[in-house]
Structure 1
């Protein structure tokens, strides 16, 4: 009887542990390193340390972009060997942290034949929602591959954004993913053309952090988050992610959250039992994907870091929008 009682306690404890297990975070990839210098050491000392690094390691740290100077965020090309060396160096004491500049990627699944019905809008009862709001007065920052103003975005409102990949004001899309996401948010609607958007009276802020190949660095994404928060975004959408936790990213998310910005990110498309970053961070609403049958899409991540599910497409039905290739499904 005693053994049976102990077995029951063990099973109860095991069940509790499994139900509360936070999930294993995936490990990220990177080919550059972030150095966040302390703000109290002064520009002259930072310049001296940057020069020392350049001489000692034969590679010069650079400000990540024109927006990096205020935060003293530098990036240097390097691998794990250089990362470990920098962390053990004498000038590490002059930094807040030295960490991998992880690469995050767009989330997509293979294209299948087009569907002429937007089942995803019916799935979320968008018609009833439109009776309450169509997004007027709201600015949504789309942090992705950029946005190209295709024909079915002609009547959509835009506010200035930025291209953090190429360091320029125009955030044009050379991949298609960002334009597709933008269309889902605010495609021009009731224009007798193409397809509909969910919040089609909202304004879009295009922030390009991913290249034409679909990859981008944590340092660019973090800067885009802060840019959005500082320039009037009410909502940030990130249909991207990857492995590797970043303090730089966490600080940017905390900053945007402190300014009242709602931050949403895709959970990931690798079928893992926990969300990818940035969906996994606190203050981010992690979203997993559903198919047209309202069941979890087979590819979607689930578990720790997932807060809500929404239509994302599956083998039984894709999400249809206009993009730079005329039509794009995911």
Structure 2
């Protein structure tokens, strides 16, 4: 996690943005003011002398700056350029401070306070996830697949143009080409109706997908977080917004076998389920990053599947960085508990209408809308770091979350039950450069994971001079010296990717472990 006080200030750089109504030209100096042989031409276009300066100490050549009415500047440029083949004439282009932000042209972006909050629309200045800064670094890649397990997604909505996932191993021919038990599952699967048309019949899934991945910079409506990932719809909720654990479990096995990258589940139930837990573990072991909404009771008790150890549980904050309790509509609040890993904005969030594509007036609240913000940033991280596994992405989100900017009684230092590791910050996550130690292939040093206790078990065939464990940032979190041959156990308190190094006979042997 990262403290707000530790965030570095960004030095502004200068970038050219278009042209001004001034021209620059180089000529021999004849004293102060525009050289006589050019002054009439400048007057013809209503030009006004601004300044002159030498091209270095002692030079007789000067740069002259002249301001023209906007309607005359292009003609003045042509006439000056044609007056002499040796005359250097340029537009005096405008410089602006580059604030390291990318502001999209989506017409209602200013209303998306949770991406960029200037306090003009809602809440507290900078109570957001710093999305424009993150977009300067990464806007997504179509090699990354985001799965929305929900009520379906309405892909006819223009905000999803060109974004629908297509199964590369399937064709519409009435045959199960990829032999996964689903005939013609070209675009995902509908587990409610057991067919290949996972369209939205409720609206919830379309709203969730839009928060995570609506097209950006498209001169319409809202911007999602990731503008380029592929979106797969997997329907497990009916038109009434309810579904069964069995469909969720089957969906998790299904997407894991398709080799997707990130799964968002803005849904939940109260009862435990070993079958769902096993399915989630299967997907996690297939390197799928699983993200789910914690729930909206406002009380302790994170929903299933979010409370499972293989899944990132996401809570919601408002435009003051306070945990939603209640939401602005007056209902519920963000559920809390020791399974909560991260918070994201989740109140008064603009959502897409799955029936009226011109409607950009709807807003809603809930952890259902906080979760896809995290999923969208996870997709951006996958795009930036294609060789990192899901455990590493999860660890980066933990380590770059902003801690202690929420309610002081709840958002205490370190991980807590109310805010987890802190509030999502897309810019910090995308700036983060993880250090991963590659694994060797030898028999002197082997590891295993005890997931129930979050223990790393390592076995060394010979005495080791040193055993070290590093987190994804390269920080050493454990060291033991003069370790005897045999099997040993080390507890890892936090989920993430860890590198374990054994120094045996003064040679280094490396392994990696993913802790859920």
- TM-score under structure 1 length normalisation: 0.62
Unaligned 5+ residue runs, structure 1? 1-113
* C-alpha distance in 2 between matches for 1:182 and 1:231: 19
Alignment partner of 1:193 is 2:199? no
SS of the equivalent of 1:241 reads: coil
Correspondence for 1:79? none
Q: Any residues of structure 2 matched to 1:247-266 within 5 Å, and which?
A: 247-266=274-293
* C-alpha distance in 2 between matches for 1:279 and 1:180: 19
* C-alpha distance in 2 between matches for 1:184 and 1:166: 26
Shift of 1:126: 1.0
Task: Choose the corresponding residue for 2:147, options 136, 141, 162.
Answer: 141
Alignment partner of 1:271 is 2:276? no
**8 Å contact 1:157–1:201 — kept in the other structure?**
no
Correspondence for 1:320? 350
Correspondence for 1:152? 159
* C-alpha distance in 1 between matches for 2:283 and 2:254: 9
* C-alpha distance in 2 between matches for 1:153 and 1:190: 12
Q: What are the superposed Cα offsets for residues 80-134 of structure 1, whole Å, 9 maximum, x if unpaired?
A: xxxxxxxxxxxxxxxxxxxxxxxxxxxxxxxxxx996011112111112222222
**8 Å contact 1:115–1:320 — kept in the other structure?**
no
Task: Choose the corresponding residue for 1:221, options 248, 258, 261.
Answer: 248
SS of the equivalent of 1:249 reads: helix
Q: What are the superposed Cα offsets for residues 150-204 of structure 1, whole Å, 9 maximum, x if unpaired?
A: 1222243433210000001110001100001111111011111111010111111
How large is the Cα RMSD of the aligned pairs? 1.6
Q: What are the superposed Cα offsets for residues 30-53 of structure 1, whole Å, 9 maximum, x if unpaired?
A: xxxxxxxxxxxxxxxxxxxxxxxx
* C-alpha distance in 1 between matches for 2:338 and 2:301: 4
* C-alpha distance in 2 between matches for 1:227 and 1:205: 12
Task: Choose the corresponding residue for 1:287, options 314, 320, 337.
Answer: 314
Correspondence for 2:129? 124
SS of the equivalent of 1:251 reads: helix
Correspondence for 1:303? 337
**8 Å contact 2:164–2:232 — kept in the other structure?**
no
- TM-score under structure 2 length normalisation: 0.40
**8 Å contact 2:131–2:225 — kept in the other structure?**
yes
* C-alpha distance in 2 between matches for 1:228 and 1:135: 20
Shift of 1:279: 0.5
Shift of 1:329: 2.3
Correspondence for 1:89? none
SS of the equivalent of 1:185 reads: helix
The answer to which structure has the higher strand fraction is: 2
**8 Å contact 1:265–1:284 — kept in the other structure?**
yes
**8 Å contact 1:164–1:208 — kept in the other structure?**
yes
Correspondence for 1:180? 207
* C-alpha distance in 2 between matches for 1:243 and 1:207: 21
SS of the equivalent of 1:254 reads: helix
* C-alpha distance in 2 between matches for 1:323 and 1:226: 30
| Structure number with larger C-alpha Rg | 2
Shift of 1:304: 2.2
**8 Å contact 2:153–2:209 — kept in the other structure?**
yes
SS of the equivalent of 1:120 reads: coil
Would the alpha carbon gap of residues 245 and 257 (structure 1) be closer, same or farther in structure 2, given more than 3 Å must change? same
